[in-house]
Structure 1
Amino acid sequence: MPKIASAQYDISFLETWGNFEAKVRRWVDEAVTNQADILLFPEYACMELASLFAKEVYSSLSGQLDALQTLLPDYLALFKSLAVNHGVYIQAGTFPVKHSNGEFRNHAYFFTPQGEVDFQEKLTMTRFENEQWHISRGLEIKTFDTVFGKVAINICYDSEFPHYARLQVERGVALILVPSCTDTQAGYYRVRIGCQARALENQCYVVQASLVGNAPWSEAVDLNCGAAAIYTPVDRGFPDNGILAIGKYNVPQWVYAELDLADVTRVRLAGQVFNYQDWPKQFDCE
């Protein structure tokens, strides 16, 4: 059974790459010490890297995106080495990446113990991302192979659209990772409710990570709130409320849980209800 660690990660003003690397290493070391196999960081956790640049850069929505591209190789190398050296899977949150056509897309990178690196792009953008930050939507829905089975990623707002998760579970996924970044309680609860709904209707695990803490220096992620949690089917053998573990609201911490992915197969075949099986059935109202 894999043990997952989901982060309530606090954004910081770091000033140097060394400070960022030291912080990430501390977080990863703590999760590994607690025997986690899969680590999940929140959406836009990387935006604290904007604090490595001058004020005119980190206070500019467009300027910080361009500047961050110079750090992407080091960012990928850091998380790749941590995954390999510790023998764990890491979903490092998200990083806005500039494509050859000039578009920025929000990448959720997935690192394996074998040194493989892949990513899921965010598929539906919030109004802020679309209208002010000018980040474009991705087009491909992926799944990722692990020794524990297939894993998928719904980036924050994507968790509120059931067809993404449905396609992923139909491809064999029993665990969906949701890195999130929300600046209001309403935003946090929208993502949380989406996560719980996806866990219920697909009879699978859904794990949310949250960015927490305020960064008044940042134009992009100045306010952040939420709680990390592990959500489950609401059925026999799982918690009655569908919450396996949840963190203390807005407090930096890891939230841990052991996942029995075989229970997903069991509940889909012999649960009190058949949410997963009954999804394709059409109701004829004529």
Structure 2
Amino acid sequence: MRRITIASAAYPLDWLADWAAYEAKIRAWVQSAALKQADLLVFPEYGAMELASLGGAEVAADLERAVAEVARHHDAMERLFEGLAIEFGLYILAPSGPVVEGMVRRNRAALFGPSGRIGHQDKAIMTRFEREDWFIDAGVEGLRLFDTGLGRIAVLICYDSEFPLLARAVCEAGAELLLVPSCTDTRAGYHRVRTGAQARALENQCVSVQSVIVGQAAWCPAVDENHGAAALYAPADVNWCDTGVIAEGGYDEPGWVTATVDLEAVVKARTDGEVLTFRHWSEQPMQAAHVHLVMENPRKA
């Protein structure tokens, strides 16, 4: 067995008086998950935006200046999460946030382990808000597969989970866990990402983990309203639950949602499941190559 305990965050954004307040908050969250014997912690997309408050009210309220302020603290934030991963001996997907590289801005989430920083994933496909209002750029380095002591992990940031070929690519490369950090400001947006995360688990017969931001942050227009529920999903198949929902928190309820999964069940589902969606994926092109239009013959009067 390869049993691991995963903690997915429903994370509220706070106004921070100073950096020490941020350090104290993050340490408390990590310590809380560690007490639950979690091996892997998953923080949400744009969870780093609370760092905009360190620039003051005017900075946090301005889309451009807020990005610059959060990016200014990026290296310190990574050092904080790296140190906590080492100290507590666990794996952490840190909250994603904007990074600025020259004239380019990307939405980046970094993964840390007991030995330090493992790597990062940039969001691949931007939403309309990111493209048209916030001017966040898509990643250009492609998708990354993290080979860790827990198993092979890939990260699909929010909207990325709604595109099947992204998940398919990393799962064909060996991914067993799909981490889906998300940030959604409506119930509809949350359900779009939830549906994507569940569908990717079904298609690829693996585990997906959705983390969310919850609550209000009126002081920062980019993330002023946030809704969702943290959860872990699996295919509704042998060795999994009938609903495909391993564990789920309350809607808009902050805290960790924790569950233990056996990654050997991913192997079993893919090789001897009730259905074999992962194996049979390649049969689709042949069937979809030709679409035949069939006309209804109108009844004669």
Question: In which range does the TM-score fall when normalised by the shorter chain?
Answer: over 0.9
Q: Which amino acid aligns with 1:214?
A: Q
Matched, 1:159 2:161: yes
Is 1:191 matched up with 2:155? Answer: no
Deviation at 1:26, TM superposition (A): 0.4
- Partners of 2:8 and 2:43 within 8 A in 1: yes
User: Cα deviation per residue 1:234-282 (whole Å; 9 max; x = unaligned)?
Assistant: 1112111100000011011100011110011101111111100000113
Shift of 1:113: 0.8
CA deviation string 1:160-209 (max 9, x = no partner): 00000000000101100000000000000000000010000000000000
Q: Distance in 1 between matches of 2:117 and 2:21?
A: 25
Q: TM-score, normalised by structure 1?
A: 0.98
Of the two, which has the highest radius of gyration? 2
Picking from 205, 208, 211, the partner of 1:206 is 208
Change (3 A) 1:53 1:164: same
What is the aligned partner in structure 2 of residue 27 from structure 1?
A: 29
The size of the alignment, in residue pairs, is 285
1-structure distance, mates of 2:100, 2:208: 29
Counterpart of 2:99, as a letter, is V
Could you tell me how far 1:115 is from its partner in structure 2?
1.0
Gaps of 5+ in 1: none
Partner of 1:125: 126
Q: What does 1:67-82 align with in structure 2 at a 5 Å threshold?
A: 67-82=69-84
Q: Equivalent of 2:269, from 267, 271, 276?
A: 267
Instruction: Give the partner amino acid of 1:81.
Output: G
Match of 1:238 in 2: 240
How far the C-alpha of 1:70 sits from its partner, in A, is 2.1
TM-score (norm 2): 0.93
Matches within 5 A, 1:214-229: 214-229=216-231
Residue 117 (structure 1) shift: 3.5
- Which residue is 1:136 aligned to? 137
**Alpha-carbon separation, structure 2, partners of 1:223 and 1:161:** 24
CA drift of 1:72 comes to 1.3
Distance in 2 separating the partners of 1:233 and 1:30:
28
Q: Is the 8 A contact 1:80 1:117 kept in 2?
A: no
Q: Matched residues in 2 for 1:14 and 1:212: separation?
A: 17
| Alpha-carbon displacement from aligned partner over 1:145-172 (angstroms, at most 9, x marks no partner) | 1112110000000000000000000010
Check whether the contact 2:183–2:226 (CA below 8 A) recurs between aligned residues. yes
Q: Which residue of structure 2 aligns with residue 59 of structure 1?
A: 61
Unaligned ranges ≥5, structure 2: 292-301
How far did residue 54 of structure 1 move? 2.0
In 2, the alpha carbon distance for the partners of 1:116 and 1:90 equals 9
Q: Which residue number corresponds to residue 109 of structure 1? A: 110
Please tell me the residue identity of whatever aligns with 1:221: V
RMSD: 1.0
Measure the CA separation in 2 of the matches of 1:158 and 1:171. 17
